[in-house]
């Protein structure tokens, strides 16, 4: 009978790290303490360590024999600006900040895998353990890319993992294709000619144009998007006029919202369609429109061949019956996409068990499940063993 992996002591130390990170949450690009703990841990394992990449990012590199592939594994380190309302021994010690997305667990698991793999002498190839800052909408992955991650590290394939409540502990979902939507923001302003509310014919009313625009916006998905694909275009803010001046038609109205898609072509199309509808409606009303589309996050789209490798590793690590191959994509985003649009990637969902008290990601009671640490470490470790298997 072989010894359990990770060992009881290894697991206990990873749980302790996880609880310590949970108690000391740091927001995006502020992960100084977390990054220091990560860098010291990796160095103590004997890995090459690069700190301060993309702000607070850390990369630990394990070099095996030559000839094998160069792969990267991603964990995110940041917490969220929200209070923790659950009472637990390791609850957040920082007011208004908490690990409500389980990135404390992601960090602990990847450290566990790095420690287990650092002892191996039979691997051929290179593994980069990438600890990224600022996943929660602050652009940490992009910051690492801009800071030369791909120039400093040769990376053939990128692997990501996120915990998922609702999937039982010990199970993992690995699915090719779209996993998470693109997440972009847009703004449209209509510039007319303000006038007396009683004399609309003397101006050019931007508010009526905005009404037409908001109605037409709905046709971008219903009429302009392939029905077997899908997308979201939502207007989430409108600003114009003054309730203390209800006899004044204003000069301008500003509208903003979010756009989400699961493919690069649909994402491009949403940008073009929002501009087309805004310009067309402005023209019909004899006014001007300005529009901007800020690309924040591309969709996370799993490469088929890379996902097959992830699936094989998950089957070997967790048992075939514990690997889910059909799991619906999420309309949330993950900037892992900034890595997986550059090289083939596979992003998997690790079971976090039932949603305790109904608490899901970004809930003030959410918590990573310590029982998922073992399966997560086994998945990462097996993936590297299979990828870097010496010929
Ligand atoms: Zn999150
Ligand atoms: Zn997250």
Backbone angles phi, psi at 149, to 5 degrees: -50, -45
Report the mean per-residue pLDDT for the chain: 96
SS3 347: strand
Q: Under a CB-based contact definition with an 8 Å cutoff, are residues 167 and 324 in contact?
A: yes
- Measured in Å, residue 189 CA sits from the centre of ligand 1 at 31
CA distance 139 to 38: 20
Lookup: tokens for 126:
């290179």
- Measured in Å, residue 154 CA sits from the centre of ligand 2 at 25
pLDDT in tens, 30-79: 999 999 999 999 999 999 999 999 999 999 999 999 999 999 999 999 99
Q: Tokens 């004997």 identify what position?
A: 46
pLDDT above 80 (res 313): yes
pLDDT in tens, 209-264: 999 999 999 999 999 999 989 999 999 999 999 999 999 999 999 999 999 999 99
- Measured in Å, residue 370 CA sits from the centre of ligand 2 at 16
φ/ψ region of 228 (left if φ > 0, alpha if ψ in -120 to 50, else beta) reads alpha
CA atoms within 13 A on the CB side of 193: 9
CA distance 175 to 309: 11
Q: How confident is residue 358, by pLDDT bands cut at 50, 70 and 90?
A: confident
Q: C-alpha 80: how far from its chain's center?
A: 13
Over residues 357-361, mean pLDDT: 84
- Measured in Å, residue 136 CA sits from the centre of ligand 2 at 7
Provide the pLDDT for residue 355.
85
pLDDT in tens, 156-215: 999 999 999 999 999 999 999 999 999 999 999 999 999 999 999 999 999 999 999 999
pLDDT above 60 (res 285): yes
Helix-strand-coil split of the chain, %, nearest 5: 35, 30, 35
Over residues 326-332, mean pLDDT: 93
Lookup: tokens for 233:
């275009």
- Measured in Å, residue 249 CA sits from the centre of ligand 2 at 44
Name 80's bridge partners.
Answer: 98
Q: List the one residue out of 322, 374, 311 whose CA is nearest residue 346.
A: 311
Ligand nearest to the Cα of 137, by number? 1
Ligand nearest to the Cα of 75, by number? 2
Lookup: tokens for 172:
């993992």
Q: How confident is residue 4, by pLDDT bands cut at 50, 70 and 90?
A: confident
- Measured in Å, residue 265 CA sits from the centre of ligand 2 at 25
DSSP assignment, residue 4?
P
Q: How confident is residue 357, by pLDDT bands cut at 50, 70 and 90?
A: confident
Q: What is the percent of the chain where pLDDT is above 70?
A: 99
Provide the pLDDT for residue 1.
53
- Measured in Å, residue 334 CA sits from the centre of ligand 1 at 8
- Measured in Å, residue 366 CA sits from the centre of ligand 2 at 12
- Measured in Å, residue 136 CA sits from the centre of ligand 1 at 6
pLDDT in tens, 127-163: 999 999 999 999 999 999 999 999 999 999 999 999 9
pLDDT in tens, 70-88: 999 999 999 999 999 999 9
């Amino acid at each position: 009978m072989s010894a359990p992996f990770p060992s009881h002591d290894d697991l206990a130390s990873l749980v302790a790290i996880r609880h310590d990170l949970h108690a000391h949450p740091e927001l995006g690009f502020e992960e100084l303490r977390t990054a220091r703990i990560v860098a010291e841990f990796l160095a103590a394992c004997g890995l090459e360590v690069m700190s301060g990449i993309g702000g607070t990012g850390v990369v630990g590199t394990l070099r095996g024999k030559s000839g094998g592939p160069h792969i990267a594994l991603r964990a995110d380190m940041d917490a969220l600006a929200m209070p923790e309302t659950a009472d637990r021994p390791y609850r957040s010690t920082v007011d208004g900040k908490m690990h409500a997305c389980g990135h404390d667990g992601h960090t602990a698991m990847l450290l566990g895998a790095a420690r287990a793999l650092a002892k191996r002498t039979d691997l051929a190839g290179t593994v980069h353990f990438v600890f990224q800052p600022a996943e929660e909408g602050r652009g940490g992955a992009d910051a690492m890319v801009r800071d030369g991650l791909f120039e400093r590290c040769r990376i053939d394939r990128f692997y990501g993992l996120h915990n998922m409540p609702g999937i039982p502990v010990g199970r993992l979902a690995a699915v090719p294709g779209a996993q998470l939507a693109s997440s972009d923001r847009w703004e449209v302003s209509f510039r007319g000619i303000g006038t007396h509310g009683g004399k609309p014919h003397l101006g050019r009313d931007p508010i009526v144009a905005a009404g037409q625009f908001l109605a037409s916006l709905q046709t971008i998905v219903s009429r302009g998007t392939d029905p077997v694909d899908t997308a979201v275009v939502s207007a989430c803010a409108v600003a114009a006029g003054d309730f203390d001046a209800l006899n004044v038609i204003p000069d301008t109205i500003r509208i903003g919202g979010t756009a989400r898609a699961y493919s690069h072509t649909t994402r491009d199309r949403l940008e073009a369609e929002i501009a087309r509808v805004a310009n067309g409606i402005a023209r019909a009303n004899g006014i001007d429109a300005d529009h901007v589309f800020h690309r924040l996050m591309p969709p996370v789209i799993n490469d088929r061949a890379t996902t097959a490798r992830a699936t094989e590793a998950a089957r070997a690590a967790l048992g075939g019956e514990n690997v889910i191959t059909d799991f619906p994509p999420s309309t949330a985003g993950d900037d892992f996409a900034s890595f997986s649009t550059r090289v083939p990637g596979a992003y998997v969902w690790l079971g976090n068990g039932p949603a305790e008290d109904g608490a899901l990601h970004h809930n003030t009671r959410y918590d990573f499940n310590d029982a998922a640490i073992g399966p997560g470490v086994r998945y990462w470790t097996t993936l590297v063993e299979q990828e870097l298997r010496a010929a």
